[in-house]
Amino acid sequence: MAVSAEIPARGGVGLKAQHYDAILGGRPDVGWFEVHAENYMGAGGPPHHYLEAIRRDYPLSLHGVGLSIGGDRPLDEDHLARLKALNDRYQPGLVSEHLAWSSHNEVFFNDLLPLPYTGEAVARVSEHIERLQDVLGRRILLENPSTYVAFEASEMSELDFLQAVSLRSGCGLLLDVNNALVSATNQGASAEAYIDAFPMSAVGEIHLAGHARDRDDAGQTLLIDAHDRPVDDKVWTLYARAIARAGARPTLIEWDNDVPAWRELFAEARTAERLMAAQDALRRSRANGVRTGREAGHATAG
């Protein structure tokens, strides 16, 4: 591969077939690309032709959507083998998976389904992540889910669950800011409090996306994790809050449905980079202010 695998702390974009020609023809200055691993598990064909060409010029992240890492059965070894082959072929800078389940016995569901946050689930998910990391020979990131209901069986908060799994398995975390807002709104909680308490030291990547707005049977606001429109202003505000705590992190714009023209996606990635630059400038300004204050104090004391 011509380009380093390392994912920079810049804006990235979910790679879509509609944009292959715009990317290869224009070589836009975007930090990195991410693909859904399951879309590239065949051996050849046009998807690999284009991905190989793009990987020569850009760092790549693999994002899994079908491993069912939160399921109650052992991981599918055939799926693991295909994921390892993809990892070995493209040498991605990051590999991530969802805290969710999507299969049971021989039945596969298209949705990423939530699980109750229990001690038993911490152990099971951690074992699955350890198996995945052993197969790939690398650390992975685990993404916080978007949820619509809470389980009465849960014994701990989602944040405590994520932190426990991270500590036990050694995995990092992927903070999906849109998911945080969707889950908090649907369950009457504070998205700001969720961001403020998220274990940022473990965050290796951030996701941003658009959501749809609906009403539930009681007339309350219901947010749907739709990935079919621009990032919402509230998500941008929460994102600024997150990177004020965490510092700049690789940040992906997810737009999987009703995919827009390349220039619109590119503009969203640029917005993320402007916010990261603004937070870095503010951080440096505050640091300089502290030093100036100390210097003034020393001069006065002297």
| Residue 109 confidence (pLDDT) | 66
Say whether pLDDT at 298 is over 90: no
Global pTM reads 0.93
pLDDT tens digits, one per residue of 231-275? 999 999 999 999 999 999 999 999 999 999 999 999 999 999 999
Band the pLDDT of 212: cuts 50, 70, 90.
Answer: very high
Tally Cβ neighbours within 10 Å of residue 118. 15
| Residue 300 confidence (pLDDT) | 43
Name, in order, each residue with C-beta under 8 angstroms of 48's C-beta and a sequence gap of 6 or more.
40, 42
- Can you tell me the mean pLDDT for 68-96? 95
- Can you tell me the mean pLDDT for 277-291? 86
Say whether pLDDT at 294 is over 70: no
d(CA 118, CA 296): 53
The closest alpha carbon to 129, from 143, 117, 147, belongs to: 143
| Residue 2 confidence (pLDDT) | 61
Say whether pLDDT at 42 is over 90: no
Say whether pLDDT at 209 is over 50: yes
Tally Cβ neighbours within 10 Å of residue 145. 22
Say whether pLDDT at 105 is over 70: no
pLDDT tens digits, one per residue of 133-182? 999 999 999 999 999 888 999 999 999 999 999 999 999 999 999 999 99
Say whether pLDDT at 200 is over 60: yes
pLDDT tens digits, one per residue of 20-38? 999 999 999 999 999 999 9
Would you say the C-alpha torsion 39, 252, 226, 181 has a positive or negative sign? positive
d(CA 111, CA 289): 49
Say whether pLDDT at 302 is over 60: no
Cβ atoms of residues 230 and 269 within 8 Å: no
The closest alpha carbon to 252, from 197, 182, 189, 203, belongs to: 203
